[in-house]
Amino acid sequence: MYSPTTDRIHIQEVGMRDGLQSAGKFVETEDKVRLLNDLSKTGLSKIEVTSFVSPKAVPLLADAEAVLSAIDRRPGVAYSALIPNTRGLDRALSVELDEVNVVMSVSEAHNMANLRMTCEDSIAQFHQICANRGTLKVNGTLATAFGCPFTGHVSESMVLDWAKRYMDTGIDSLTLADTVGTATPNQVFDLCGAAIGEFPGVEITLHLHNTRGLGIANALAGVAAGIRRLDASVGGIGGCPYAPGATGNICTEDLVHALIFDGYKCAVDLDRLIAISHDLEAILSDSLPGLVRQAGSKVTTHPMSDDLKCRLGLVT
C-alpha cells in the first residue's frame, strides 16, 4: 500500500484566464470580480486572474485592468496574469499584481500558431521581460511539453533543453503544460521527475488538460514524481484555441476531491468550489464538464424513495 506525501499540494486556479478566454460569451466584469473574490476564499494558493493580450485577439478578457483593480486580495493568495510580450508587461506593471506568466511552446509549429513567433523570438522577449519586470515574479510555462497537435511526439530532452534556456532568462518558476491532453501517467511521472532532478529548488507546476480523460491520473502521477503545485480550472472550462481537439483544463473541484479523499494534504474548501462551479455554470448558461459538481462528493448520499423501500420490504 502506498502512502501519500504529507507535503501540502498547492492548487492554482487558471479558469478565470484559461477558461474564460474561450468561454463563448463575455462574462461581465462584476461577475468576474465576484467569482474571483469567492475563489480567493477557498484556500487556493494562486489565481491566474486574467491575460494582458490584445483585446482584438482575446476580446473576452478585454477588461483585464478593470478586473484587477476591483478584486479583493486575500493574504496568502498570489495573483497572476498571463502576458504574451513586452507590451503585456507594460500593462501588468500598471496594476497591482504578484506575478506574470509567460508562455512558449516547445514545438515550433505550435508556437507559431499560438504566438505568431518562433521559439527563439519568444526567448528573446522573455529576456527583456525579466530585465524590466521590477518587483514582479515571472513564471515560465512550457506549452506542448507532452506532445504537439501538429508534429506529434516531443522528446524529454527537448523539453529539458528549453527549460534550461527558460531558466537562463531569469524566470523564478517553471510550468510544464500538457496543452492538448496527450500525456499519460508514466510520461508525466518521467518528465516531472527529470525536471525536478534537473532544476533542484525550482518551483515547478504541472498544467494539465483532460482531453482524453487522463487528467486526474496524470495529476496523481505528477504528485508521485514530486510535483507539489497543480494548475486547474473551476468547472473544467478552457482549452487552447490553437490546439485542434483540445478540451478543458483539469477540473479544480474534481482534482481537489481526488486529492482530499485519497489522503493528500490539500487545504482547499471543496464545498465552496462546487458552489462557485454552479455559479459559473449559471453565468455561462452552458453545462460544464466537471463531474463532482454533478454527482456530489463521494460521501454524498440520497434519501431512498418510499416506493423503493416498499419494494425492498423495508416498510409495510
- Which residues are catalytic, by number? 240
Q: Are 288 and 273 in contact (CB under 8 A)?
A: no
- Which H or E run contains 220? helix 215-225
User: Cα–Cα distance between 188 and 141 in angstroms, integer?
Assistant: 16
Q: Coil, strand, or helix at residue 73? A: coil
CB 185 within 8 A of CB 217: yes
Cβ of 228: how many Cβ atoms within 10 Å?
18
240 in helix, strand or coil? coil
- Where do we find the cell 493528500? 264
H or E, element range at 261: helix 252-261
Rounded distance, CA 67 to CA 63, Å? 6
DSSP 8-state code for residue 6: S
Inter-residue contact 249 to 21 (CB < 8 Å) = no
3-state DSSP call for residue 298? coil
Cβ pair 13, 32 in contact under 8 A? no
Query: Any residues with CB less than 8 A from the CB of 228 and at least 6 apart, and which?
Result: 5, 7, 8, 9, 10
- CA torsion sign for 32, 35, 103, 209 is negative
